[in-house]
Amino acid sequence: MELINRPRRLRQNDAIRRLCRETRLSPDSLIYPIFVDETLKGWRPIPALAGQFHYGLDAVDQAVEACLDAGVGRCILFGLPARKDAQGSPAWDPSGVVQEAVRAIKAKYPDFYVITDVCMCEYTDHGHCGILKGREVDNDATLEVLAKTALSHAGAGADMVAPSDMMDGRIAAIRSALDRHGLQNVPILSYSAKYASAFYGPFREAAGSAPAFGDRRGYQMDPHNRREALKECALDVEEGADILMVKPALSYLDVIRACADAFDLPLCAYSVSGEYAMIKAAGAAGLIDEYRVMCESALSVYRAGADMLITYFAKELAQAMRKGDIG
Ligand code: PBG
């Protein structure tokens, strides 16, 4: 058969397939979520997230050690405070759970890169991401507490802050608070296009942050919209964000591609708890090859245009990249 074009020539063996990969991945692009519980000593499995743990302040260094062993050098911290109130004041307590976790990690591993999630939902007794006025989250009142929270994280030594609340104007508010306090060099990773997603279910159980009434559709984005993600990103760029984010990842690959094409900033994707839990559950049930589905899913997020990925599979993916199974 006379065939000039035979795409299979480039697929014949591993050596040539690896040579021709269009998407190159590195463990440097992975960020691992760590949950720190102020009331806990040691660590305890998170039932909603098979294979993930809550860590006490006395044990958070072990979470970091496991990351370093696997070749992951970056984390994002989530806190479970001992008490909550209507304003979410434990979020900006200078000796709050995240602030202390940052100090504990930095004291032992100064080079481990620590990002903190900045939001009120884990700290308010009503579980919403800001200060309530009636049954609504008051945008402008919330900006002030978000800025205070980000400032206290950076003050404790966080390398980067990542606001996930979806209030309007929060990047500008946080940037200005950091700058006024001499923290001009602390970058902001903005959860720019964060959708009101059912995929956050296991996280809310893990972080104890489900809203006591209503839902988050009044501030997180409507999953029907793609153009709106571009608007959110554009506002964040104007307000001084350093890195943009799309969240969740797998059901929003089109949004990741659109944002990657439209903006010059680095783009992060968050492969959220529900994405992880589904792969773990299907793997445990023997329905899929968990390892290969993990690899293929992560790969698709990078192929869509993400430069970096927050994932509960960060340690396993770093190993997979090292082995060359992806990357
Ligand atoms: C805090 C926050 C959430 C997630 C990250 N930061 C939960 C939410 O918005 O309800 C979700 C992460 C995940 O599902 O893995 N606002």
Q: Is the pLDDT of residue 87 over 90?
A: yes
Please give the share of the chain, as a percent, with pLDDT higher than 90: 98
In a domain, 2, yes or no: no
Q: Is 133 annotated in the active site?
A: no
In a domain, 84, yes or no: yes
In a domain, 243, yes or no: yes
Which of 84, 106, 108, 247 is catalytic? The answer is 247
Angle between helices 97-108 and 139-156 (to 10 degrees): 30
pLDDT score for 279: 98
In a domain, 5, yes or no: no
Of 26-35, 135-144, 208-217, 278-287, give the lowest mean pLDDT range: 208-217
163: containing domain:
25-323
Mean pLDDT calculated for residue range 207-221 = 92
Domain count of the fold of the chain: 1
Cα 172 to ligand 1 centroid, rounded to whole Å: 21
Mean pLDDT calculated for residue range 289-301 = 98
In a domain, 285, yes or no: yes
Task: State the chain's mean pLDDT as an integer.
Answer: 97
Residue at token pair 């995929």: 199
Q: Is the pLDDT of residue 121 over 90?
A: yes
How many Cα atoms within 13 Å fall on the side-chain side of residue 135?
Answer: 8
pLDDT score for 208: 87
In a domain, 207, yes or no: yes
Instruction: For ligand 1, atom 6, name the residue with the nearest CA.
Output: 164
Cα 78 to ligand 1 centroid, rounded to whole Å: 9
Cα 200 to ligand 1 centroid, rounded to whole Å: 6
Q: Is 194 annotated in the active site?
A: yes
Instruction: For ligand 1, atom 2, name the residue with the nearest CA.
Output: 164
| Ligand 1 probe mutation, 119, 200, 246, 311, most atoms within 8 A of CB | 200
Which CATH number does the domain housing residue 236 bear? 3.20.20.70
Dihedral angle at the C-alpha atoms of 105, 184, 116, 272, nearest 10 degrees?
Answer: -130
Rounded to whole angstroms, the Cα distance separating 290 from 284 reads: 8
In a domain, 266, yes or no: yes
pLDDT score for 324: 92
pLDDT score for 36: 98
In a domain, 11, yes or no: no
pTM of the model: 0.97
Of 83-97, 201-215, 310-324, give the lowest mean pLDDT range: 201-215
Query: Could you read off the pLDDT of 27-75 as tens digits, one per residue?
Result: 999 999 999 999 999 999 999 999 999 999 999 999 999 999 999 999 9
One-letter amino acid at 211 equals P
Instruction: For ligand 1, atom 8, name the residue with the nearest CA.
Output: 200
Query: Could you read off the pLDDT of 10-21 as tens digits, one per residue?
Result: 999 999 999 999
Query: Could you read off the pLDDT of 147-200 as tens digits, one per residue?
Result: 999 999 999 999 999 999 999 999 999 999 999 999 999 999 999 999 999 999
| Ligand 1 pocket at CB < 6 A | 117, 119, 121, 129, 164, 200, 203-204, 209, 272-273
How many Cα atoms within 13 Å fall on the side-chain side of residue 103?
Answer: 12
Please give the share of the chain, as a percent, with pLDDT higher than 70: 100
